[in-house]
Amino acid sequence: MRRQGAGPRRCRTRVAVRRGMGPRRVLLSRCDGSCADPLMRASVREHFPRVMEPNDARRLAASGPADLGRSFCIVTGASKGLGRSIARQVAALLRPQSTLVLVARSGDKLKELQAELAASGAGEAGGLVVRLVAADLGAKDGVERVVREAREASSADIEHLMLFNNAASLGDVSRYAQSFTDMDEVDSYLSFNVSSALSLTAGVLQAFPRRRGLQRTLVNISSLCALQPFPSWSLYCTGKAARTMMFRVLAEEEPDLRVLNYVPGPMDTDMQVQARSTLDPKLRKAVCDMWSQGQLLTCEESCSKLMMLLLKDDYQSAAHMDYFDL
């Protein structure tokens, strides 16, 4: 995708192209060549157009439909960061009488978002129903409460089931893998980041079984860490790799499903704040430089590309698609 605007702007970066898994990946590194880390995706804004709003997603997806249909849609981790942007942007793309379920632990933040959406065009004119589940997805009860919402809402009127498995945590990045001797600690991380995603997805699919006229879309918010190891991020890399494989298996088993593993790129969120305390010095420098040099994406930018993918709906099911490849 080419930068829009008047004529080519001079690029401050050295661009290398790697061929490998999936589509061609462009790695950008700084001119002095000191950091070849793929996380160091310098000058993002010079290479990619800013895409901010649902209307931009519609414009980019010009060949696809203008909305996502009458939907039952769940967004986990909707209280902040990327999840909140997904909730805002998807709300504007749902047909009237759709239901949007927002999930996170922070009930107050979910309520604020609910009020905002109720006052928006989707809420006032579109009759969007926004339901909240303030729950810890690391606990069985939390997952069951979301599945209950899906069971109660399941009806023949729904044209599109969408589940955004977005909630995740970075885990303790202040330690190397060999320090994780406590199995309970590891289990607790995997319980939220892997097990809950599978149980939730399975429960929601059972609530909305395959039927004619129903599209079922599963979005897994993934990461480059699903494919590539990063020192001191053992929990996160393990969780993302497991989750991605899990969704690939689901796509094999249920050919009617539309499954998308979306890599949103480095975004300016609380997770990035935590990432700046990474133990590994080279990785910490790369993460800190991205932030101090203003190279992080906004959640809205990344989310617009995700919405474009969903509107166009021409991705290969189970594909692992990266913001930077679109």
Report the interface residues with ligand NAP, using CB under 6 A.
Answer: 77-83, 104-106, 136-138, 166-169, 192, 221, 223, 264, 266-267, 269-272
Minimum Å distance from CB 62 to ligand NAP?
27
CB 87 within 8 Å of CB 75? yes
Burial grade of 9 (CB within 10 A; 0-12, 13-18, 19 or more)? exposed
Question: Alpha-carbon distance 83 to 94, whole Å?
Answer: 16
Minimum Å distance from CB 124 to ligand NAP?
25
Minimum Å distance from CB 86 to ligand NAP?
9
User: Could you give the dihedral angle defined by the CA atoms of residues 248, 252, 256 and 260, in that order, rounded to the nearest 10 degrees?
Assistant: 10
Q: Which is nearer to ligand NAP, 192 or 230 (CB)?
A: 192
Q: Which is nearer to ligand NAP, 296 or 311 (CB)?
A: 296
Q: Which is nearer to ligand NAP, 72 or 236 (CB)?
A: 236
Q: Which is nearer to ligand NAP, 28 or 78 (CB)?
A: 78
Element spanning 260, H or E: strand 258-263
Q: Which is nearer to ligand NAP, 205 or 221 (CB)?
A: 221
Minimum Å distance from CB 287 to ligand NAP?
9
In the three-class reduction of DSSP (H, G, I as helix; E, B as strand; rest coil), residue 71 is classed as strand
Minimum Å distance from CB 282 to ligand NAP?
18
Quickly count: other Cβ atoms within 10 Å of residue 241's Cβ: 18
φ/ψ region of 181 (left if φ > 0, alpha if ψ in -120 to 50, else beta) reads alpha
Residue nearest to ligand NAP (CB): 81
